[in-house]
Structure 1
Amino acid sequence: MQKRQLFAEMLAAAPLLACAMGGASGPKVGYEIQGHLGEVIVNPYETDPLTAIIRNGGYMIKNAKVTVMPKPNGVPISYDVSRRMLLTHGGVPVFGLYADFVNTVKVDYTRIFNGKEESFSDTYKIYASPIYTDAQGLKGQVSAMPRVRPVKVDPEFKDRLYLLNNAADLAGKAAHMVWNNPMGGALEWSFYPQNGIVDTTGEYRWYMFTQPIYNVGEPYLGGDMMGFRQNKDGSFTWGYGQRYVKYDLMGRQIWNRRLPINYIDFSHAMDAAQNGNYFLRVASSNTKLANGKNVRTVREVIAEIDQDGYVVDEWRLFDILDPYRSDVIKALDQGAVCLNIDASKAGKTLSEEDIQKLNESDNYGDIAGTGVGRNWAHVNSVDYDPTDDSIIISSRHQSAAVKIGRDKKVKWILAAPRGWKGELAEKLLTPVDKDGKKLVCDDVSCEGGFDWTWTQHTAWRIDEKSAPGIVYLSVFDNGDARGMEQPAMPSMKYSRAVVYKIDEKKMTVEQIWSYGEEAGHDWFSPVTSLTEYHADKDSIFVYSATAGASFDINTGAFTSAPNPNMQEFRWGETTPAVEMRVESTTGYQAMPVDIERAFEKNAGSRWVSLRFAAR
């Protein structure tokens, strides 16, 4: 009886105890409200610390506009916010805060409550924390993100924002997970990501805090982040290791998926195509050779995946091209076979005897060589052409851009003629001048201001200037093995950004613009990089992503990290309207960011090229 009475007394006292511990229950909210809406949440999705959401406070909102006020001599960021984005984020999304700074953010909007509409113009003070990423433990690292130094910015380009997709050097934490490292491991590459967006003063206005979605020591959460593209809805797609993902510019996950089990080792390229699907550059997880052996292949499969993650088609390039064409591979500088940079092999090449010994061996994997299961193709870009349901790929180790149809038949090849045989030789494009006259060429070079591309990246169709049967193609010509040889001196090497016009009916190609040879060796990028057209300013954007490294004049080996060069040219001009230098980092790709596409209601309907521009 006494126990029952004591229990009853405790129940009666429970509300008083609750009040004593935490205050009375009810509608009171303890968070601070600055304007006429709700609370401010910085880094709402945990991966983008220079973003925030001003919650709607329970009101309906429309006609919202955000302006992040600049620092002295800085660049403001201003954009309209669509109803879709207001509803998705439960308030006003704020993008472009300065790090370690009390930002002034002006928000104009209409608030609706009980059928009454009121217009407000609120000013918020929002502090964003310093930029933080994992340190690499390397003596050359001096900052969390690479520093960016503007050299030249013409007035009409001052509002540009550029995404930098770079990679830190291989850190000790990752080294034992990389399977092409001498120690062996589980990942093809695992360079810690350095992804950020800078304005034209060199200030970071966004960066990716990757820890919530990335772990350099886990094979299914690590890898090298590559292939960034801005989709028509303003979101970004890219991949890393064994994953391909889609996030919006605020860091909200749309999907984050493992590769389909038939494939492994995403790198370089993920094209958001006009047909709504995604074209991923992957490799086969299990292919049987003619000798009965089973191998994992290396960077020569294109998988087409729909928005639900189903594989709808694939291009197995070892069945389409010639995996034993060795002419370019024998001329490659073995010190810089894309990301496998080994200074001890700088300037060295492979002989025919080396190739034959390799083919007779059981050595497979990420090694320069011929045959399925070796790095014979090294495809680093894929682009869909909706006019004839085809893809255009860039094969670094064939120094070739190739167009392939849905029927898996080659339509044309943009490459030097040496080494192509049979039906493939019949698909080579013929170089012509501006009047359509055939140029004088041998099997590795041409007269008349024309050159093929060598170990190139980003063979992309310029959608806005192309038409059915006519393809304008932008390419970054890295320039290693130019003319299928190594020059007498490493300092003789140079890279180019180049645009071609291809007449598919006549099977001809004209070089209509190039830049780089005149810039010399200081602009030379042995690996990575990008060339891309942007319609909003009728410009060519170029990222010479591994330029500017110090090297030993005798061996050609790197003695310091690269200092990438980011430039934007008005169409047809060879003097840059924008030039910015990125200091001490291995760059992969960079590209302008379309903020309006990310936040405005009409962005999707304005989107034409499907392309946003990444290694």
Structure 2
Amino acid sequence: MKKRLKQGTIILLGIILAGLLLFKLVGSSSLFNKDILSTSQIIKNIGSQTIKTRQTSQEKLTATYKKALNSDQYTSAKPYVKVNPYGTSPLSALVLFKTNTATKVTVEVVGKTAKTSIKSEVGKNYTKSHTISVLGLYANYQNKVRLTLTDKAGHKTYQTITVKTAALPKAIASMSLKVKKADKTKMSIGNSSLTFLVRSTQYPVGVDADGEIRWYSTNYVQHIFKVLSNGHLLYLTKPDNKDLVYNDLLETDFMGRVYREYQFSTETRNNESANDKTETTIIHHDAIELPNHNLLLTVSDGGSKYVEDTMVELSRKTGKVVKVIDLKKLLPAELYETYKATKRADGKLDWFHQNSIDYDTSDDSIVISSRNQDLVMKLDYKTSKIKWLFSSKSASKWPLKYRKLLLKAADSQTGNTPPQFGRPAKRTRSN
């Protein structure tokens, strides 16, 4: 009996010691941290779904335009023209007409000066029915729009139409650039291109080489403004401009027609000032399109303690979250548990502050950046394992298991190229 008691005591002590060792090793990690949420909790907090509020409201407009095109009463000489066809893009117009023979159409909004004309080809196929998106109109102006129609034999016909637009609203006009000198020979803008200016909040605008506003949306936009692989535009907006939360993500076009609309719960809303009386956002800095056409978004997890340290993959079709990457579960716990560098009024810790995502097709990985950790890192997207770290911190400040992932700096004196990660930099004697 005593022998059994002794053996039991030894086993119990072993279990206790093992537990203490485990706690020492990972006690400050997500295993014991109640503020680290599970994947299911994060998905619930995000609460993403597809809705059709805007699409439904646009159905009558689209039906009207289809009816006009099918009426056979509009020709290239007398086309159907509708400025701002979907109510959110005042410097655009929809032009509809039919031709007797199948043709291709090229459209040009004539610029006021050199290298400010906006040209585009409408579709790749020859057709008798033409639906033309005219983009890059000047505000409060009689715009000249040139149409070039080319048939299969290569014969060209030309038509110029005039499109009148309204003046810019005061809020938009105040954003106009005053260009004192423009050397267009050194610009990458050239013909048919605009530079888009997207502030942290409110109206996005597109300007030409003269700094003139040639496109804007009446929808407020925050941070996210990307062109997708299908040519559509992705941006983050609100259900209404008067609302305080940016929680609607739209797949639209530059004419304002909406193709997909994703709405999020407000549980993960966040802003820089931590003041709930000002505008807050769901996707705080970046969104990219993945090779499978799903969307990868930078978000907060919706917990009570940490912000701006999570990514979610959103199904393009369903709007549901299909993958979660919580950076607290990948990086050393002391980075967020002892973080004190920045303060927020709400007491939450913005320890990582992710700014951007870039997808690397060569090895199915993503490169992300952290403002508050002075860090750039690469993750295997399938496994979420860290491939390398580019950090301002010295190697000694990283736990051992992370040191092999640190990139080594090139020798600035010898001009050596950067060595592979985890290997010591080669030193060369210099006189």
Whether 1:102 and 2:142 are equivalent positions in the alignment is: yes
Equivalence for 2:53: none
Whether 1:278 and 2:295 are equivalent positions in the alignment is: yes
Pick closer, same or farther for the CA change 1:72–1:153 going to 2, 3 Å.
Answer: closer
Shift of 1:233: 2.0
5+ unaligned residues in a row in structure 1: which ranges? 1-26, 136-142, 168-190, 215-223, 287-294, 335-339, 341-357, 366-373, 433-437, 440-446, 451-500, 511-615
- Counterpart CA distance in 2 for 1:326 and 1:206 is 42
- Counterpart CA distance in 2 for 1:48 and 1:420 is 50
Deviations 1:154-196 (A, max 9, x none): 25633352111124xxxxxxxxxxxxxxxxxxxxxxx3x1311
Pick closer, same or farther for the CA change 1:421–1:65 going to 2, 3 Å.
Answer: same
Partner SS, residue 318 of structure 1: helix
Shift of 1:127: 1.0
Deviations 1:271-319 (A, max 9, x none): 1123322110011134xxxxxxxx2641111111232123221110111
- The one-letter amino acid of 2:149's match is Y
Out of 131, 138, 163, the residue aligned to residue 126 of structure 1 is 163
Pick closer, same or farther for the CA change 1:381–1:54 going to 2, 3 Å.
Answer: same
- Counterpart CA distance in 2 for 1:304 and 1:506 is 30
Pick closer, same or farther for the CA change 1:81–1:226 going to 2, 3 Å.
Answer: same
Shift of 1:67: 1.0
Equivalence for 1:302: 311
Equivalence for 2:248: 243
Paired residues of 1:402 and 1:412 also in contact (CA < 8 A): yes
Equivalence for 2:377: 402
5+ unaligned residues in a row in structure 2: which ranges? 1-67, 238-245, 270-281, 427-431
Equivalence for 1:352: none
Deviations 1:538-583 (A, max 9, x none): xxxxxxxxxxxxxxxxxxxxxxxxxxxxxxxxxxxxxxxxxxxxxx
- Counterpart CA distance in 2 for 1:502 and 1:306 is 38
- Counterpart CA distance in 2 for 1:84 and 1:414 is 48
Paired residues of 1:238 and 1:246 also in contact (CA < 8 A): yes
Shift of 1:364: 3.6
- Counterpart CA distance in 1 for 2:74 and 2:230 is 31
- The one-letter amino acid of 1:70's match is G
Partner SS, residue 381 of structure 1: strand
Paired residues of 1:275 and 1:386 also in contact (CA < 8 A): no
Out of 161, 165, 173, the residue aligned to residue 194 of structure 2 is 161
Identity over aligned residues, as a percent? 24
Pick closer, same or farther for the CA change 1:502–1:253 going to 2, 3 Å.
Answer: farther
Whether 1:233 and 2:233 are equivalent positions in the alignment is: no
- Counterpart CA distance in 2 for 1:276 and 1:385 is 14
- The one-letter amino acid of 1:320's match is L
- Counterpart CA distance in 2 for 1:75 and 1:411 is 45
Partner SS, residue 402 of structure 2: helix
Q: How does 1:80-95 map to 2 (within 5 A)?
A: 80-83=121-124, 91-95=131-135
- Counterpart CA distance in 2 for 1:314 and 1:387 is 22
Shift of 1:388: 2.4
Whether 1:423 and 2:398 are equivalent positions in the alignment is: no
- Counterpart CA distance in 1 for 2:338 and 2:146 is 56
Shift of 1:413: 0.8
- The one-letter amino acid of 1:428's match is L
- Counterpart CA distance in 2 for 1:509 and 1:48 is 54
Equivalence for 2:13: none
Deviations 1:379-414 (A, max 9, x none): 011122222222211111101011122322211111
Q: How does 1:315-464 map to 2 (within 5 A)?
A: 315-322=325-332, 324-325=334-335, 364-365=347-348, 374-405=349-380, 406-418=382-394, 419-432=397-410, 438=411
- Counterpart CA distance in 2 for 1:85 and 1:380 is 44
Paired residues of 1:63 and 1:81 also in contact (CA < 8 A): yes
- Counterpart CA distance in 1 for 2:185 and 2:339 is 41
Q: How does 1:137-152 map to 2 (within 5 A)?
A: 143-149=173-179, 151-152=182-183
Paired residues of 2:182 and 2:210 also in contact (CA < 8 A): no
Pick closer, same or farther for the CA change 1:46–1:504 going to 2, 3 Å.
Answer: farther
Paired residues of 1:283 and 1:296 also in contact (CA < 8 A): no
- Counterpart CA distance in 1 for 2:126 and 2:134 is 11
Pick closer, same or farther for the CA change 1:146–1:203 going to 2, 3 Å.
Answer: closer
Q: What TM-score, normalized to structure 2?
A: 0.66
Partner SS, residue 82 of structure 1: strand
Partner SS, residue 268 of structure 1: coil
Pick closer, same or farther for the CA change 1:238–1:60 going to 2, 3 Å.
Answer: farther
Shift of 1:134: 4.8
Comparing 320-329 and 66-75, the one that deviates more: 320-329
Pick closer, same or farther for the CA change 1:273–1:129 going to 2, 3 Å.
Answer: same
Comparing 117-126 and 197-206, the one that deviates more: 117-126
Comparing 226-235 and 77-86, the one that deviates more: 77-86
Shift of 1:34: 8.3
- Counterpart CA distance in 2 for 1:86 and 1:93 is 16
Partner SS, residue 325 of structure 1: helix
Partner SS, residue 288 of structure 2: strand
Paired residues of 1:65 and 1:109 also in contact (CA < 8 A): yes
Pick closer, same or farther for the CA change 1:277–1:195 going to 2, 3 Å.
Answer: same
- Counterpart CA distance in 1 for 2:386 and 2:131 is 50
Shift of 1:202: 0.8
Partner SS, residue 167 of structure 2: coil
- Counterpart CA distance in 2 for 1:239 and 1:398 is 26
- Counterpart CA distance in 1 for 2:224 and 2:338 is 25
Paired residues of 1:33 and 1:40 also in contact (CA < 8 A): no
- The one-letter amino acid of 2:326's match is R
Paired residues of 2:104 and 2:125 also in contact (CA < 8 A): no
Out of 240, 252, 258, the residue aligned to residue 253 of structure 1 is 258
Paired residues of 1:49 and 1:206 also in contact (CA < 8 A): yes
Whether 1:64 and 2:105 are equivalent positions in the alignment is: yes
Bigger radius of gyration: 2
Aligned length: 330
Pick closer, same or farther for the CA change 1:194–1:248 going to 2, 3 Å.
Answer: same
- Counterpart CA distance in 2 for 1:83 and 1:99 is 30
- Counterpart CA distance in 2 for 1:381 and 1:236 is 18
Equivalence for 2:80: 39
Root-mean-square deviation (Å): 3.9
